[in-house]
Structure 1
Amino acid sequence: MINSTAGLDDTDVAIGAVRAGAEAVRARYGQRLTRMDKGAGDFATDADVAAEEAILGVIRAARPEDAVLGEEGGRRGAADAVRQWLVDPLCGTLNYAVGNMLVAVNVALRNAALLNGPAAVADPFSGEVFFTDGDAAWVRRDDGDTRLAPTAATRLVDVNLDPPFPSAPGFRAVDLLTHPGFVERFRPRVVSTTLALAWVAAGKRAAYVTDGGDLTGSVHFAAGIALCRAAGCVVTGVDGAPIGQGEQDGQAGRGLVAAADAETHGLLMSMIRSRGVEAGAANS
């Protein structure tokens, strides 16, 4: 927790916020959880709510004039605020609820004046905090900060298979797993937490793929995308278009392909496009 907010820059605030959220998540792990149904099989728990309140406490103390968009509490603050904090207090709620530690706490600052802003992702159980000031990215451990260095050496690619599937039938992530070139080159991992995006930035994963709309404004994905960009990863939509730059005219890339390097990104895009051509032919 942050004891004093005096003199903190935005990166410090993001780090303090995710640490506060991670502390709340750890404190409730393994306890009996109250579930709040969101519909379509989705739910939150009292741990999600407690983590979000802990995060909001840090942000409110340090930046009382800023707006906040939280997954559980929704929008708070002025609707026309230039600065807005995107908060996902517990990404991987289902994992957490069944006793799986693959979860993340995400916070990102969205500033209308900046394309890339400060963000942080905490792994509550490893104690690692991945963060960026918008220009470079690091991981903070007990022994200090280390610059993130993406690499495709692991050949591990995380693929998000959670619905919805807005790009089907042209693109379905599950089809990527059956592509001959994919299984020859990569080893798939299937997760349901955006901790995997931090792993791409840190060199623990070669890439991450998910469907969806423009995810740069999503409380789930904004922090991970910011980390990958600052670390030097190649980041586009599943359609190959830039993400986050065309949202005003509807031209922003859909979904997300975040790869450690250009070669990995190019290989994945070629596989995605070939599957899209096959799907189009099958439906013509």
Structure 2
Amino acid sequence: MVNSPADEGGSARPADTGSSDTGRSDTEVAVAAARAGAEVVRALYGRRLARIDKGAGDFATAADVAAEERILDVIRAARPGDAVLGEEGGQRGAADAERRWLVDPLCGTVNYAVGTMLVAVNVALSGGPAAVADPFGDEVFLTDGERAWARRAGADDVPLAPASDSRLVDVNLDPPFPGAPGFRAVDLLAHPGFAERFRPRVGSTTLALAWVAAGRRAAYVTDGGDFSGSVHFAAGLALCRAAGCVVTGVDGAPLGAAGRGIVAAADRGTHDALMSLIRG
């Protein structure tokens, strides 16, 4: 990786991690795509939007679909040979492509549909750079796969620095609950030891993972299966890992095919404390 002003005490744009006809790095493609999706999400906010039923109480809106198409436009223009896995459109491009982008165009659809501005736009190159846009905070969290920053228009990038000082733990309470009865997030919140050390937050969006990387949350916990290649979690997990967070499943094992859920903590002490509560 090339040296940058950040190596000498200042802020910097990420180093170039890919090549293309456009001359933009994979990191900047991820940022541009996430921003493009965020523009659509902002533009359609507050409107009565058509819903697309996915079953089991889940749904998408016209904003999800339109944002994904805008993101795809950016990726196709910059990386025409890459495949894309989108939450709404599924697999695009060759299934055996060496490079694949994971896109969640609107994480927090239920929030969005009822007028709550807690949502995220997630774009990640599998195993590489990623970006998470906060459409209403006018902020993008980005990583080149090794380091991570927060970016606001007209300002220098600020390195992400995880911290547990807030004591806030964001917990995903959305079903299904595959860990029950052995693990249920609601039981974690009711544990006396949890209240002694932490304070719960329930936002129901993976924007919370970016907040852990940025030091705005002490940790994030969700039950579930293998999230290592999930369009919902890929970008946020990439940020957490690059920022130096401690990331495992709720069983303490590394994320992967045999993993279960996510515990992403700002530091080892916070992670150990949460694992003790979960196991207890």
Same fold at TM > 0.5: yes
Alpha-carbon separation, structure 2, partners of 1:63 and 1:190:
36
Q: 2:91 aligns with which of 75, 83, 86?
A: 75
DSSP 3-state at the match of 2:169 = strand
* Aligned equivalent of 1:97: 113
Report the residue type matching 1:238 in the other structure. Answer: V
Alpha-carbon separation, structure 1, partners of 2:265 and 2:28:
27
* Aligned equivalent of 1:197: 209
The one-character-per-residue Cα deviations of 1:96-116 (angstroms, maximum 9, x if unpaired) are 011000000001111xxxxx4
Alpha-carbon separation, structure 1, partners of 2:104 and 2:189:
28
Alpha-carbon separation, structure 1, partners of 2:175 and 2:48:
27
The one-character-per-residue Cα deviations of 1:58-116 (angstroms, maximum 9, x if unpaired) are 00000111110000001011111111100000000110011000000001111xxxxx4
* Aligned equivalent of 1:172: 184
Aligned-pair CA distance for 1:38: 0.8
Aligned runs of 1:138-217 on 2, under 5 Å?
A: 138-142=149-153, 143-217=155-229
Report the residue type matching 1:34 in the other structure. Answer: A
Alpha-carbon separation, structure 1, partners of 2:21 and 2:142:
18
Q: 2:277 aligns with which of 236, 247, 271?
A: 271
Give the unaligned 5+ runs of structure 1: 111-115, 275-284
What's the TM-score once normalised by structure 1's chain length? 0.90
Report the residue type matching 1:41 in the other structure. Answer: G
Answer whether contact 1:106 1:223 (CA < 8 A) is retained: yes
Q: 1:255 aligns with which of 248, 258, 261?
A: 261
Alpha-carbon separation, structure 2, partners of 1:197 and 1:93:
17
* Aligned equivalent of 1:277: none
Aligned-pair CA distance for 1:215: 0.6
Aligned-pair CA distance for 1:168: 1.0
Aligned runs of 1:222-261 on 2, under 5 Å?
A: 222-244=234-256, 247=257, 251=258, 253-261=259-267
Answer whether contact 1:5 1:61 (CA < 8 A) is retained: no
Alpha-carbon separation, structure 2, partners of 1:256 and 1:214:
9
* Aligned equivalent of 1:280: none
* Aligned equivalent of 2:233: 221
Give the unaligned 5+ runs of structure 2: 1-19
Percentage identity across aligned positions? 78
User: Number of residues paired by the alignment?
Assistant: 260
Answer whether contact 1:138 1:148 (CA < 8 A) is retained: yes
Alpha-carbon separation, structure 2, partners of 1:188 and 1:126:
22
Alpha-carbon separation, structure 1, partners of 2:178 and 2:231:
18
DSSP 3-state at the match of 1:126 = coil
Q: 2:147 aligns with which of 129, 136, 155?
A: 136
Aligned-pair CA distance for 1:263: 0.1
Alpha-carbon separation, structure 2, partners of 1:214 and 1:82:
21
Q: 1:11 aligns with which of 24, 27, 51?
A: 27
Aligned-pair CA distance for 1:178: 0.8
Report the residue type matching 2:139 in the other structure. Answer: E
Alpha-carbon separation, structure 2, partners of 1:5 and 1:255:
39
* Aligned equivalent of 2:13: none
Aligned-pair CA distance for 1:5: 6.5
What's the RMSD between the two structures over aligned residues?
A: 1.1
DSSP 3-state at the match of 2:278 = helix
Report the residue type matching 1:141 in the other structure. Answer: R
Report the residue type matching 2:271 in the other structure. Answer: H
DSSP 3-state at the match of 1:158 = strand
